[in-house]
Amino acid sequence: MRRRTHFKAAAVLSAVALLTACGGDSEEEPEDTPTAAETEDTETETDDTDTATETGDGSGETAGPGGGEAGDFVFGYLFPETGALAYLGPPQISALEMAIQDINAAGGVLGAEVPAPIGGDEGDQATVVQASADRVLGQNPTAIIGAASSGRSLDVIDRITGAGVLQCSGSNTAPTFTDYDDGGFYIRTAPSDALQGPVLANTIVNDGWSNVAIVARADDYGRGLADATASALENAGATVLLNETYDPNAQQFDGTVQAVVSASPDAVVIVGFEESTQILQGLIEQGLTPADMGFYGADGMRNPELGSLVDESNPAILAGMKGTAPASGANEEFVSALAEFDPALGDNTQFAPQVYDCAVTIALAAEAAGSSDPAQIKDAVVDVTKEGTACTSYEECKGLIEDGEDIDYNGASGPLDFTDVGEPGKASIEVYGFNDAGEFETLDTVESNPEG
């Protein structure tokens, strides 16, 4: 049994008018996909999160998304339990489970306990995430948290929002979502990559580099972050020698490596996921190393084990490499609480604060709306994140709502201040790096305000 934990969001640091985080491929998958029943054997079940089909009052009846009665409030999730992003699954699942525990410790939602979430594997293929979404939707959740990858969310967003169910991702950052026609049912606690790019660019320029090569995954995430970074670099007076995409499913990346070598940059940016390891290895084999030039990544490469993955015998080969990502380590109180809740996570907390905030924000919106009907909850989501009485926990915020006050939930990931389309107007961004021993460390965390 996991222990009950509570925390208040730590204050984030100095302001920079810039920001944050994660995506995936979306364009390579076919539109015609099998039904959930036809692809059931492709899914990986979690050990204790797929059984929550009862309403909070213990009646044993499943509630439809248009419910509105206390006890009808249920979370589902789509997180990577298999595939290239499987390392992102555990911290996001645990963050959701801890949020539910804290919500229930404060009296639940609308007077009823929130049951365990209905789990689904997003995998790394459209067919897997679509089958999982169909199965989770079949159990009538109020909201689905996830997917982690922007590409996988794009594979299911029409299914989820079209069913009148809320969707919130703590790690989707592709700019595509800002203007997506989702009827207000999709929200995210990770800001657009259009805002992370300037942070990454400023880091590069401040380090003294001026001739930059960028290579990125050929998907919404890769293109969006690469273009935002390139634009910000040029605005800062740097020269972008190369801005090229690659097929993330390729067997080898020799062409991408050679393109960087031929550009003769003084810094290289890689926007990718697991395949980035091969690109790093290729660059090093060609004599380009972080010891001689700038090496930079983003949230998809924020892996404390990256040095060992590149060179198991010499993790220090990445000493000096840097990157940016939505902050997960800035709120030490949250990180400590999550470590107590699930000690097996170790240092792997990426996107956990943002996922926690997805759950708490939606629960608070239900309290503010006085309903578990997603159609009413969505209309309250933006209001609970700004322009009210500041509060930093579900318990504190819920108490203010019960007292008739408007609230401003400042979450585990920092101030949210949602824009009208349901994404952060403020957030925290981490600059990370690898020290002389090749060990991962957080170098800086700033509060960013894209409107500032």
CB half-sphere exposure, 192, CA atoms < 13 A: 22
DSSP state at residue 369: H
234 neighbors 240 (Cβ within 8 angstroms): yes
Q: For residue 389, which phi and psi values (nearest 5 degrees)?
A: -75, 125
Q: What mean pLDDT do residues 412-423 have? A: 91
Rounded to whole angstroms, how far apart are CA atoms 446 and 63?
42
Rounded to 10°, the helix 352-369/374-381 angle is: 110
Residue type at position 216: A
**With 60 as the cut, is the pLDDT of residue 44 above it?**
no
Which residues, in sequence order, are bridge partners of residue 369? none
Contact 167/98 with Cβ under 8 angstroms?
Answer: no
Cα separation of 440 and 358, whole Å?
A: 27
Span 240-291, pLDDT tens digits: 999 999 999 899 999 999 999 999 999 999 999 989 999 999 999 999 999 9
For tokens 């290729």, the residue is 282
* More confident site: 129 or 150: 129
Here the tokens at position 61 are 């009846």
Please report the pLDDT score of residue 430 as a whole number. 87
d(CA 240, CA 230): 6
Confidence of residue 422 (pLDDT cuts 50, 70, 90): very high
**What is the pLDDT confidence band of residue 427, given thresholds at 50, 70 and 90?**
low
Q: How confident is the model at residue 448 (pLDDT cuts 50, 70, 90)?
A: low
Distance CA 79, CA 212 (A): 34
- Residues 34 and 31: their CA atoms lie apart, in Å, by 10
Residue count of the chain, please give it.
452
Q: What is the pLDDT of residue 449?
A: 63
135 phi/psi in degrees, rounded to 5: -70, -45
Task: Categorize the per-residue pLDDT at 138 as very low, low, confident or very high, splitting at 50, 70 and 90.
Answer: very high
Pairing of strands 15-16, 440-448: parallel
Angle at 115 between CA 111 and CA 118, to 5 degrees: 140
What the block records as the tokens of 255 is 């062409």
Which has more pLDDT, 294 or 424?
294
As a whole number of Å, the end-to-end CA separation of the chain is 45
One-letter amino acid of 344: A
pLDDT per residue as tens digits for the range 190-214:
888 877 888 899 999 999 999 999 9
Q: What are phi and psi of 136, to 5 degrees?
A: -65, -45
Q: What is the pLDDT of residue 207?
A: 97
Selection from 177, 122, 110 nearest residue 421 by Cα: 177
Asked if residue 318 lies in contact with residue 290, where contact means CB atoms within 8 angstroms, the answer is yes
Lowest-confidence range among 66-75, 310-319, 347-356?
66-75
296 has which bridge partners?
A: 269, 322
The superfamily (CATH) of domain 193-329 is Response regulator (3.40.50.2300)
Per-residue confidence band for 450, with pLDDT thresholds at 50, 70 and 90: low
Give the Cα separation of 355 and 30 in Å (integer): 29
How many Cβ atoms from other residues are within 10 Å of residue 365's Cβ?
A: 27
Chain region(s) in the chain for CATH 3.40.50.2300: 15-192+330-427, 193-329
**Residue 198 identity:** P
3-state secondary structure of 232: helix
Query: Tokens 């948290």 appear where?
Result: 145
What pLDDT does 4 receive? 40
Question: Any idea which residue has 């965390």 for tokens?
Answer: 445
Question: Do 409 and 401 form a contact (C-beta atoms < 8 A)?
Answer: no
Position 393 confidence tier, pLDDT thresholds 50, 70, 90:
very high
Q: Residue 418: how many CB atoms within 10 A of its CB?
A: 21
| Domain 15-192+330-427 classification at class level | alpha beta
